[in-house]
Amino acid sequence: MKEHRQAKSGFQQVAELIFYGNYFYGICAVAIMLETAVQLKLPYDGPLVYMLAFVATVLFYNYPYARKNNAPSENPRALWYRRHHGWVVRSQWVLTMALMLLLALLFMQHGRAIRNPGSVEWLLLLVFPVAGGMYYGANFLSRKRNLRQIGWLKPFVIGFVWAGVANVYPILYHNLLHDDLYELTFQAGLLFLKTFMFVSMLAIMFDIKDYEADSRNQLNTLVVKFGLRKTILYVVVPLTLLGLLTFLSYAVTHDFSLLKMALMMIPFFLLLAAARSFRKRRTLLYYLVVIDGLFIVKACFGILATLV
């Protein structure tokens, strides 16, 4: 019995490291980029872009937690970061050096192949990290001056940045290596819209766990503004169904098989099921596993549907 408790404790520690430490977000970034590459039939150009996505994503999400924060909090993640603050700071330095090394390898291996990006390519390269930077604010700005404080806008900024990483960067990376101009096809635009709406809904659902804290801090998120029940009924469900109908219209016009359509619709139905389960109070780790796990579910079913 004692060994079982110790094993369970060890498993929980690993789960907290992966989810509280935001390493799972790095895995999610790689997964949805792979989904895009498979769906758009992009040739494999090596692991560098996926390694860059993993490292940059973990760095981004750990950025606010690397700062010392002594404010009292009962949030399990905040307590975890407080206990492991020194380790988090060291890991950020290691990840930063890894990012610099990967960028150096990129230009050493593909420097001759990468042509000078045009204005469209520069815009696409910069708009998503700039939006991400504005989400948290920069060190030289007040911490209050960031998009994260605009509660109703926050989930859509998250959806926009994730859609860029998932659906724009793989195409842009391939085109830069092969000296092609970036062209926004209908299929790529639809994938971007689908990812944007799907991730925005996940972000709104994630605000459910912070409802009480956001309400106390007068952060006007959609959940605070409308309440839990109305947010699910009048925001999450309609926008999820809209995303589903958008996909179905594309699937029908492109003669998708019933099996392929069913596989690609499963993540949307699981999203609605997850939203329904949140009517009961859950632990933070539950929210992280279920909501973030839907990233992987979306990627897996998207890849599977393309291959059948």
Higher pLDDT, 185 or 51: 51
Q: How far apart are CA 109 and CA 104, in angstroms?
A: 9
Q: Is the pLDDT of residue 239 over 90?
A: no
Give how far the C-alpha of residue 166 lies from the chain's centroid of Cα atoms, to the nearest Å: 8
Least confident of 21-30, 113-122, 258-267: 113-122
**pLDDT tens digits along 1-20:** 444 444 456 778 888 889 98
Total tally of structural domains belonging to the chain: 1
Higher pLDDT, 263 or 177: 263
pLDDT band at 274; cut points 50, 70, 90: confident
* pTM metric for this prediction: 0.85
Residue 94's nearest CA partner among 83, 77, 86 is 86
For the chain, the first-to-last Cα distance in angstroms comes to 46
Q: What is the DSSP string of 144-169?
A: TSSGGGSTTTHHHHHHHHHHIIIIIH
pLDDT band at 69; cut points 50, 70, 90: low
Q: Please give the DSSP secondary-structure letter assigned to residue 112.
A: T
In this structure, the number of other CB atoms found within 10 A of the CB of residue 8 comes to: 10
88-93 CB contacts, 8 Å cutoff, 24+ apart: 88/21, 88/62, 91/21, 91/62, 92/59, 92/62, 92/63, 92/66
In this structure, the number of other CB atoms found within 10 A of the CB of residue 285 comes to: 15
* The predicted structure's pLDDT at residue 96: 95
* Residues spanned by the domain of 96: 2-307
The answer to whether the beta carbons of residues 165 and 33 sit under 8 Å apart is: yes
Q: Please give the DSSP secondary-structure letter assigned to residue 217.
A: T
